[in-house]
Amino acid sequence: MRCFIGLEPDAKSKMAIDNWRQHALPAIEGKVPAANFHITLAFLGQLNHSQLEQLQTTLEQATALPACSIQLNTLGYFAKPKVLFVGTDEIQPELMQLATSVTSLTQQAGLQLRHQTYVPHVTLYRKCPSNPPAALFSPDIELQFTQFHLYESVSSSGGVRYPIINSWSLY
Protein backbone atom coordinates (compact mmCIF):
# COMPACT_ATOMS: atom_id res chain seq x y z
CA MET A 1 0.00 0.00 0.00
CA ARG A 2 1.15 3.54 -0.79
CA CYS A 3 1.48 5.64 2.40
CA PHE A 4 2.58 8.95 3.87
CA ILE A 5 2.63 10.67 7.26
CA GLY A 6 0.97 14.06 7.48
CA LEU A 7 -1.13 16.69 9.17
CA GLU A 8 -4.87 17.11 8.60
CA PRO A 9 -6.36 20.62 8.68
CA ASP A 10 -9.73 20.76 10.44
CA ALA A 11 -12.89 21.18 8.34
CA LYS A 12 -13.11 24.94 8.97
CA SER A 13 -9.51 25.40 7.80
CA LYS A 14 -10.09 23.27 4.69
CA MET A 15 -13.07 25.47 3.86
CA ALA A 16 -10.96 28.62 4.39
CA ILE A 17 -8.26 27.34 2.01
CA ASP A 18 -10.86 26.38 -0.59
CA ASN A 19 -12.63 29.74 -0.22
CA TRP A 20 -9.33 31.59 -0.71
CA ARG A 21 -8.56 29.45 -3.78
CA GLN A 22 -12.00 30.20 -5.30
CA HIS A 23 -11.64 33.95 -4.79
CA ALA A 24 -7.92 34.50 -5.39
CA LEU A 25 -7.21 32.19 -8.34
CA PRO A 26 -8.85 31.68 -11.74
CA ALA A 27 -10.34 28.31 -12.65
CA ILE A 28 -7.51 25.89 -13.41
CA GLU A 29 -7.60 22.23 -14.44
CA GLY A 30 -6.47 19.66 -11.88
CA LYS A 31 -8.22 21.06 -8.82
CA VAL A 32 -7.54 19.03 -5.67
CA PRO A 33 -10.73 18.42 -3.65
CA ALA A 34 -10.77 20.25 -0.31
CA ALA A 35 -11.34 16.90 1.41
CA ASN A 36 -7.82 15.91 0.28
CA PHE A 37 -6.03 18.95 1.76
CA HIS A 38 -3.17 17.91 4.04
CA ILE A 39 0.45 18.72 4.83
CA THR A 40 2.85 15.86 4.21
CA LEU A 41 5.52 15.30 6.85
CA ALA A 42 7.09 12.25 5.16
CA PHE A 43 6.21 10.44 1.93
CA LEU A 44 6.78 6.72 2.49
CA GLY A 45 5.81 5.15 -0.84
CA GLN A 46 4.87 1.49 -1.10
CA LEU A 47 4.85 -0.40 2.22
CA ASN A 48 4.22 -4.07 2.81
CA HIS A 49 2.28 -5.34 5.83
CA SER A 50 5.43 -5.98 7.88
CA GLN A 51 6.83 -2.49 7.21
CA LEU A 52 3.48 -0.93 8.09
CA GLU A 53 3.34 -2.80 11.42
CA GLN A 54 6.94 -1.87 12.29
CA LEU A 55 6.31 1.78 11.45
CA GLN A 56 3.18 1.95 13.59
CA THR A 57 4.98 0.29 16.51
CA THR A 58 7.82 2.82 16.22
CA LEU A 59 5.40 5.77 16.03
CA GLU A 60 3.48 4.46 19.08
CA GLN A 61 6.69 4.64 21.12
CA ALA A 62 7.42 8.25 20.14
CA THR A 63 6.99 10.73 22.96
CA ALA A 64 6.78 14.50 23.26
CA LEU A 65 6.35 15.33 19.59
CA PRO A 66 5.40 19.02 19.47
CA ALA A 67 2.01 20.45 18.57
CA CYS A 68 2.57 22.94 15.79
CA SER A 69 1.07 25.52 13.50
CA ILE A 70 1.66 26.93 10.05
CA GLN A 71 0.74 30.30 8.59
CA LEU A 72 -0.26 29.78 4.95
CA ASN A 73 0.75 33.05 3.30
CA THR A 74 2.40 32.27 -0.05
CA LEU A 75 1.53 30.65 -3.36
CA GLY A 76 4.15 28.32 -4.79
CA TYR A 77 4.76 25.99 -7.72
CA PHE A 78 6.76 22.78 -8.05
CA ALA A 79 7.71 22.63 -11.75
CA LYS A 80 8.57 18.94 -12.11
CA PRO A 81 5.32 17.52 -10.71
CA LYS A 82 3.40 20.62 -11.94
CA VAL A 83 1.86 21.29 -8.52
CA LEU A 84 0.44 24.66 -7.47
CA PHE A 85 0.35 24.98 -3.69
CA VAL A 86 -0.24 27.30 -0.78
CA GLY A 87 2.64 27.39 1.68
CA THR A 88 4.52 29.52 4.15
CA ASP A 89 7.39 31.96 3.98
CA GLU A 90 8.53 30.97 7.50
CA ILE A 91 8.54 27.44 8.89
CA GLN A 92 7.84 27.48 12.63
CA PRO A 93 10.50 25.63 14.68
CA GLU A 94 7.92 23.19 16.10
CA LEU A 95 6.80 22.15 12.62
CA MET A 96 10.41 21.67 11.50
CA GLN A 97 11.14 19.66 14.67
CA LEU A 98 8.09 17.48 14.02
CA ALA A 99 9.06 16.83 10.39
CA THR A 100 12.64 15.98 11.44
CA SER A 101 11.39 13.66 14.21
CA VAL A 102 8.99 11.87 11.89
CA THR A 103 11.78 11.34 9.35
CA SER A 104 14.03 9.94 12.09
CA LEU A 105 11.27 7.64 13.34
CA THR A 106 10.60 6.25 9.86
CA GLN A 107 14.32 5.50 9.53
CA GLN A 108 14.28 3.78 12.95
CA ALA A 109 11.46 1.63 11.57
CA GLY A 110 13.77 0.54 8.75
CA LEU A 111 12.32 2.70 5.98
CA GLN A 112 14.52 4.66 3.61
CA LEU A 113 13.18 8.05 2.57
CA ARG A 114 14.31 10.09 -0.39
CA HIS A 115 16.31 13.05 0.93
CA GLN A 116 14.83 16.39 -0.05
CA THR A 117 14.39 19.83 1.46
CA TYR A 118 11.21 19.99 3.53
CA VAL A 119 8.65 22.40 2.08
CA PRO A 120 5.39 22.28 4.06
CA HIS A 121 2.45 23.02 1.79
CA VAL A 122 -1.14 22.22 0.85
CA THR A 123 -1.53 21.14 -2.78
CA LEU A 124 -4.26 23.11 -4.57
CA TYR A 125 -3.84 21.85 -8.16
CA ARG A 126 -2.05 18.95 -9.84
CA LYS A 127 -0.87 18.92 -13.45
CA CYS A 128 -1.01 22.70 -13.43
CA PRO A 129 0.18 24.65 -16.51
CA SER A 130 3.88 25.49 -16.56
CA ASN A 131 3.13 29.17 -16.01
CA PRO A 132 0.55 29.21 -13.20
CA PRO A 133 -1.34 32.43 -12.55
CA ALA A 134 -0.53 34.84 -9.77
CA ALA A 135 -3.08 35.10 -6.97
CA LEU A 136 -5.28 38.20 -6.82
CA PHE A 137 -4.40 38.45 -3.14
CA SER A 138 -2.17 36.52 -0.75
CA PRO A 139 -3.51 33.81 1.53
CA ASP A 140 -3.58 34.43 5.27
CA ILE A 141 -4.70 31.20 6.93
CA GLU A 142 -3.31 29.79 10.17
CA LEU A 143 -3.53 26.04 10.76
CA GLN A 144 -3.07 24.44 14.19
CA PHE A 145 -2.24 20.75 14.65
CA THR A 146 -2.53 18.55 17.74
CA GLN A 147 -2.31 15.21 15.90
CA PHE A 148 -0.41 13.65 13.05
CA HIS A 149 -1.61 10.77 10.90
CA LEU A 150 -0.51 7.80 8.86
CA TYR A 151 -2.42 7.91 5.57
CA GLU A 152 -2.95 5.51 2.71
CA SER A 153 -3.10 6.93 -0.80
CA VAL A 154 -5.86 5.11 -2.68
CA SER A 155 -6.31 5.69 -6.41
CA SER A 156 -9.53 4.78 -8.17
CA SER A 157 -11.46 5.79 -11.27
CA GLY A 158 -13.15 8.46 -9.12
CA GLY A 159 -9.81 10.03 -8.12
CA VAL A 160 -7.45 9.77 -5.18
CA ARG A 161 -8.55 9.44 -1.55
CA TYR A 162 -6.41 9.64 1.58
CA PRO A 163 -7.96 7.53 4.34
CA ILE A 164 -6.28 7.77 7.74
CA ILE A 165 -4.84 4.46 8.95
CA ASN A 166 -3.79 5.65 12.40
CA SER A 167 -3.36 8.89 14.40
CA TRP A 168 -1.07 10.08 17.20
CA SER A 169 -1.32 13.06 19.53
CA LEU A 170 1.10 15.97 19.55
CA TYR A 171 1.92 17.74 22.83
Q: What angle is formed at CA 49 by the lines to CA 67 and CA 65, rounded to 5 degrees?
A: 10
Tell me the residue range of the domain where 72 lies: 2-169
Q: Minimal CA–CA distance to 80: which of 32, 127, 46?
A: 127
Contacts of 80 (CB under 8 A, 6+ apart): none
User: Catalytic residue positions?
Assistant: 38, 121
- CATH code, domain carrying 37: 3.90.1140.10
Instruction: Classify residue 118 by its DSSP letter.
Output: -
Segment (H or E) for 30: none
Give pTM, 2 decimals: 0.95
Each residue's pLDDT tens digit, 85-119: 999 999 999 999 999 999 999 999 999 988 889 99
Asked whether residue 4 carries a pLDDT value surpassing 90, the answer given is yes
The domain total for the chain is 1
